[in-house]
Structure 1
Amino acid sequence: MSSVDKAILAVIAQDVFITNIAISEKLTKSISTIERHIKMLKESHLLQRVGSKKTGHWKIIK
């Protein structure tokens, strides 16, 4: 797991309702970078989106 992955999980742990845009602003990374890392975290079964894009939340799976 990369340092960006760990940072994304840390930010999500603080606010499970955070958006990809807000994550990219907090970490000063591009949105495409955040989306790519989130996709890898989902494929690795470390992160899950519960509900819709608008009203859903993140769930960190350990």
Structure 2
Amino acid sequence: MNDNQKPVGPKPTDKACPICGRPGVEETKPFCSKRCADVDLSRWLGGVYRIESPDRPDAEEADERE
């Protein structure tokens, strides 16, 4: 590539896309595309991903009743 030529396409990032493993892109960081970002969002909204908590929600409700 000459100094006069600019790279074509989105600028890649150093990290791989967490969904498909392709190089990430600045515009959709950390994903490689809007599609992979949407797949990730769908997984969060569908309950595939969860953040575990040491407390059980039903235990708090039982404490409040007593």
- When normalised by structure 2's length, the TM-score is 0.29
- When normalised by structure 1's length, the TM-score is 0.30
Q: Which has the larger helix fraction?
A: 1
Higher relative contact order (CA 8 A, sep 6+): 1
Query: Considering only CA atoms, is the larger Rg found in Structure 1 or Structure 2?
Result: 2
